[in-house]
Amino acid sequence: MSADGEIKARLTSVQAGNTNGSFGVMIRESLSPNSKYAFMGLSQDLNFRWQRRSSSGGSTSTTISSTATPPNTWVRVVRSGNTLTGYLSTDGVNWTQVNSRSVTMAANVYVGFAVASGSTSSLNTAVFANESVVP
């Protein structure tokens, strides 16, 4: 994605194979494991989770919000200039802002789905629907 835009999706189901799991949408500067990024999704215990890394190789900051109930779980990350904002919704129409932070990234960024288990010996899975990327 170039410049401003957003990614959003509905999580219809999640399957956690590990207690460090996460499922959601992400905007990131590069495909490097230590890239700057913003993530909005669910934790393994079905709490909404906003995460960001504002410097390459830096630490990750996390904000936990209310509990989700898939399939009525929508997540969204919006990029406006250097501001990245995470939103949650139960209907895909009415959105609640979870957090917003300034993260300076290159003009061209990667957007997509993120599913992680936090373990090399177990897998997490998620089903996404109603996906949308708006440049």
58-108 residue pLDDT tens: 999 999 988 888 888 999 999 999 999 999 999 999 999 999 999 999 999
Share of the chain above pLDDT 70, in %: 100
Predicted model pTM: 0.92
Alpha carbon separation from 42 to 9, 17, 107, 113 (Å, rounded): 12, 14, 27, 12
The answer to whether 112 and 2 have CB atoms below 8 angstroms apart is: no
The answer to whether 124 and 17 have CB atoms below 8 angstroms apart is: yes
| Residue pLDDT, tens place only, 97-109 | 999 999 999 999 9
Alpha carbon separation from 121 to 32, 45, 74 (Å, rounded): 22, 19, 28
Task: Given CATH 1.10.10.10, say whether it is the number of domain 5-134.
Answer: no
pLDDT of residue 123: 87
Mean pLDDT score of the chain, rounded to an integer? 93
